[in-house]
Amino acid sequence: MLDYNASVLLIYTGGTIGMTEDAETGVLKSFDFGYLKEHVPELSRLKFNIDNIPFERPIDSSDMGPEEWKKIVRIIEENYDRYDGFVILQGTDTMAYSASALSFMLESLNKPVILTGSQLPIGKIRTDGKENLITALEIAVDKNPAGRALAPEVCIFFQNLLMRGNRTTKINAANFKAFNSLNYPILAEAGTYIRYKPELIRYPPEHSRTKFHYLLDTNVAIIKLFPGISPATLKSIIAIPNLKGIVLETYGAGNAPSESWFLDIIEEGVKKGIVVVNVTQCASGSVEMNRYQAGKTLKDIGVLSGYDTTTEAAVTKLMFLFGHGLSKSQVEEQMKASLAGETTVD
Ligand code: ASP
């Protein structure tokens, strides 16, 4: 049910949706919010109120990171009581990381925070940006008959799918279906109606207070295994001063080489106090470290299972947990739990 007295805050950070082509070079460059509004006149026909706060300098999402995530959380916190929902426009390249980070930074959310963008700039006739933006705005104000938001989560809406943000991955650099949520079902599908699946959506306990978090620690790394990875590469990562967490992207169900040099280096890292989390390189499925010897050995030397967590969610969760000063064992405990629906816990 659309609430026509509702208000949405649109936070424009940049990305293709607001870019224009340089006439000489054809290179896409960011434009300001006025340009975006001019190209989506439909915005003024929506019956609810839309305010906007653009980033002073719109950026390509390759430049998004912890500082920009904090800026977004600050904007949401300062405006939380005034709006029914929030839509964040950003580039698609790092949108799954932003959505994952925001899902941890915005605890007990009771209003929708929907990220969207587009593959084609809004000024292009075939743009996917208009549909994405307009439907994301509608989702941000959609409520049940009791007046509660239908999707009070950090989500990505893209093409026609509403997905839990910390379950998403960018799967295509050109197709309009740029994202998928391969280890968790879609939260809503937009066709002639927007069909929500309330049984899959997280609703905070009534009267719980939303908490806004700003602490992130970037002393983390991602190691993607590949056949032929050298001891020197691995050693140099383990030796990074102050490194606290590693997301180890392994093969299949969480398998890694069984050679002793490999296991010795990883074990050295674990013994130094680094939390090593095992996630799969596969697009879907879960790590099962007891299934093969090649996974069991990792478990025996102290590597944690990331289960079905995406790399994007695992790395931002480590930043969040270490940012809050948790000890190694506390971080390990939390990595086994689901904080914002990012992991399927048995
Ligand atoms: N490079 C762009 C960005 O992520 C791509 C996009 O917007 O989809 O900012």
**What's the whole-number mean pLDDT along residues 151-178?**
96
2 pLDDT exceeds 70? no
3 pLDDT exceeds 70? no
Using 50, 70 and 90 to split pLDDT, how confident is the model at 316?
very high
Q: What angle separates helix 311-323 from helix 95-105, to the nearest 10 degrees?
A: 40
pLDDT digits (tens, 9 = 90+) for 234-248: 999 999 999 999 999
Q: What are the tokens at 187?
A: 């939260």
- Interacting residues of 232 by C-beta distance below 8 A, sequence separation 6+: none
Using 50, 70 and 90 to split pLDDT, how confident is the model at 28?
confident
296 pLDDT exceeds 90? no
Of 132, 111, 110, which Cα lies nearest the Cα of 121? 132
Structure-model confidence comparison of residues 29 and 182, the more confident one: 182
d(CA 75, CA 72): 5
**What's the whole-number mean pLDDT along residues 22-46?**
79
Distances, alpha carbon 191 to alpha carbons 23, 159, 170, in Å:
36, 10, 22
Using 50, 70 and 90 to split pLDDT, how confident is the model at 220?
very high
**What's the whole-number mean pLDDT along residues 141-168?**
96
pLDDT value for 25: 84
142 pLDDT exceeds 80? yes
**Same fold flag, 7-212 and 220-335:** yes
pLDDT value for 172: 94
Cα(105) to ligand 1 centroid in Å equals 23
d(CA 149, CA 143): 4
Of 288, 335, 298, which Cα lies nearest the Cα of 313? 335
Of 312, 301, 11, 267, which Cα lies nearest the Cα of 137? 11
Q: Is the CB of 312 under 6 A from ligand 1?
A: no
Residue 322: enclosing H or E segment and its boundaries? helix 311-323
**Which residue among 12, 13, 16 has the greatest number of ligand 1 atoms within 8 angstroms of its CB, and so is best to mutate?**
16
- Interacting residues of 227 by C-beta distance below 8 A, sequence separation 6+: none
Q: Is the CB of 117 under 6 A from ligand 1?
A: yes
Cα(180) to ligand 1 centroid in Å equals 16
Q: Give 100-130 as a DSSP string.
A: HHHHHHEET--S-EEEE--SS-TTSTT-SHH
124 pLDDT exceeds 90? no
Least reliable range by pLDDT among 21-35, 98-112, 251-265? 21-35
- Interacting residues of 197 by C-beta distance below 8 A, sequence separation 6+: 185, 186, 187, 188
Q: Is the CB of 98 under 6 A from ligand 1?
A: no
d(CA 6, CA 83): 7
CATH 3.40.50.40 correct for 220-335 = yes
Report H helices in 241-305. Answer: 260-271, 293-300
d(CA 215, CA 11): 21
Q: What is the CATH number of domain 7-212?
A: 3.40.50.1170
Using 50, 70 and 90 to split pLDDT, how confident is the model at 216?
very high
pLDDT value for 44: 84
Domain spans in the chain, listed from the N-terminal domain onward: 7-212, 220-335
d(CA 299, CA 316): 22
Q: Is the CB of 93 under 6 A from ligand 1?
A: yes
- Looking at every residue in the chain, the average pLDDT score rounds to 94
Strand-pair partners of 20 = 29
Q: Looking at the CA of residue 17, tell me the nearest atom of ligand 1.
A: 7
pLDDT value for 77: 98
pLDDT value for 35: 77
